[in-house]
Amino acid sequence: MRLAILTCVTVVIGATSGAQAAEKGKPLDDAQCKAAWTIVSPNGAAISKDKPVPSIIDWTMVDSNKDATIDANEFKAGCAAGWIAPAS
């Protein structure tokens, strides 16, 4: 009985955490990435975590150096990895 309960709890926890994970998109080409970056940072400066940026699918995956900002190089890497949504 304990094993059955433990198994059910494990399945529920696994399903819940999987549902909360961000889903990667399709990698963007250079033109798409540049268009998206121009929208989120018109002046080219790094963007900070406190500024909402809907095109960033998963901030933690794009902020590779974990400094709470995303610069142009991190953004470009995020585009190639599928963590940036195309500009709309």
**Whether 82 contacts 24, CB under 8 Å:** yes
Q: How many CB atoms lie within 10 A of CB 67?
A: 12
- For residue 9, is it within any domain? no
- Which of 12-26, 40-54, 56-70 has the least mean pLDDT? 12-26
Residue with more model confidence, 79 or 4: 79
pTM comes to 0.75
pLDDT at position 8 is 43
pLDDT tens for residues 31-43?
999 999 999 999 9
- For residue 12, is it within any domain? no
- For residue 4, is it within any domain? no
The total number of structural domains in the chain stands at 1
- For residue 5, is it within any domain? no
